[in-house]
Structure 1
Amino acid sequence: MTVAERVIALIAARALADPAAITPGMTVESLGLDSLGLVEAVFTIEEAFDITVPFTPNEDGPGGFDVSTVGAIIRGVEGLIAAKAA
C-alpha cells in the first residue's frame, strides 16, 4: 500500500467514507470532517506513520502543514516521511 493509499484509507475511516470515492482534490470539509474530525485524522496519521505533524488547528500556516485538500495532506505526510528518513 502506498503512502497516498494509506492516508486516504485513514481519512476515509474517520469520515466514514469509501476510500475509493476519495480523490486528492477533495477537501476534508467535503468529506464531512469538522475540526475535531480533522484533528483525530491527523493523530491517526501520526500514529500510522510514526511521524509528528506540525499542525495547529486554530492557526493558519505556521506549522507548514497544509490540510486544505486530501492531496495536500498526502504531500505533507510524504515530506515528513522523507525528512525522517534523511
Structure 2
Amino acid sequence: MSDSVKDKVIEIIAEQAVLEPSDVKMDSTLEDLGIDSLGLVESIFAIEEAFDIQVPFNANEPTESEFDISSVEAIVKAVEGLAAEKQA
C-alpha cells in the first residue's frame, strides 16, 4: 500500500469528517467518522481531483458501485487500483 496514496486519502476523508488525519483509522467506516452521503460525494470528488482518476461511483446507488466504500482501507485500495490502471 503506497503511503502517499494512503496519506492523501486519509487527509481528504479527515477534512470531510472535520477530524485530524491521526483520528482516521484504516478500519474506520465513513459512518464511524460521521461522514454522510453528501460528505461521501464530496470526498469522491476530492479523490478524483487529487489523483486525476474517475471513480466508478453512483451516488444514487452506492451499494451497486464497483468502488468499495466499506472502510477507509477499502477506499485506499480502490484508489490505488484506479491510479495504477491509469498509469498502465
- Decide which of 10, 13, 31 is 1:11's aligned counterpart: 13
Residue in 2 aligned with 1:83? Answer: 85
Deviations 1:45-83 (A, max 9, x none): 00011000000123213x311011100000000000000
Deviations 1:5-58 (A, max 9, x none): 000001101110010111110000111110010000000000011000000123
Q: Does 1:68 align with 2:73?
A: no
After superposing on structure 2, the runs of 4+ consecutive aligned residues of structure 1 that deviate more than 4 Å are none
Structure 2: unaligned runs, 5 residues or longer = none
TM-score normalised per structure 2: 0.91
Paired letter, 1:83: E
Structure 1: unaligned runs, 5 residues or longer = none
Residue in 2 aligned with 1:34? Answer: 36
Paired letter, 1:8: I
SS of the equivalent of 1:26 reads coil
TM-score normalised per structure 1: 0.93
Residues paired across the two proteins, number: 85
Indicate the percent of aligned positions where both proteins have the same amino acid: 52
SS of the equivalent of 1:27 reads coil
